[in-house]
Homo-oligomer: A and B are copies of this chain.
Amino acid sequence: MRKNLGPKTMCYPMPVYIIATYNADGTPNAMNAAWGGISEEKEISICVDSAHKTARNLVERKAFTVSMATAGTVVACDYVGIVSGNQEPDKFAKAGFHVVKSEFVDAPLIEELPMALECKVISYDQETCRLVGEIVNVCVEESVLDVNGKVDVVKLQPITYDPVNHHYLALGERVGLAFQDGKALK
């Protein structure tokens, strides 16, 4: 028996993206976005309300990075979701984050977050809130790569947001092989 929960913003998994930009004075800013996703090959789209400091920065710098929040950085990643860069100019530093300069875009990488997409703004519409970014590079700390140079999810420990229970969850064990398991039904 199915129960109707009404029109809700609810699905699994939801991401925990940390969007980082430079402010007008060159200091870094970061915000938590537990929504959005890959919208095309090498393209990510995330709703950013025009009231956010990040929104102004996107318009001015035309660049942003998207880091994956991780199990070991939950407190910092949650903090940048509950405090506004408009009210707290030292938000980035208070989170304990340190800037790593991006080689590709005019936006900061975050030393403490080992995987990030470096993006150029394709478009940002203040009316609809839709930010579309071209992924020009993915950079990853060597410590979370496996022996073949590929991202090791167990080392990275990316997290996901549970929109119903307001929890952050780790990713769990492997339950299947994509493009493989379904062949059994062919």
Contact = CB atoms under 8 A, between A and B. Distances in A.
Interface in A136-171: 136-142, 145, 149-151, 153, 156, 158-162, 164-171
A72 to B, nearest CB: 9
A50 to B, nearest CB: 13
Given A79-B185, A80-B182, A15 B37 contact: yes
Interface stretch (A21-29, A54-62, A127-135): A127-135
The residue among A9, A75, A141, A156 with the most chain B CB atoms within 10 A of its own CB is A9
13 contacts: A5-B138, A7-B137, A9-B43, A9-B135, A10-B151, A11-B68, A13-B171, A74-B181, A75-B182, A78-B179, A81-B182, A151-B165, A166-B179
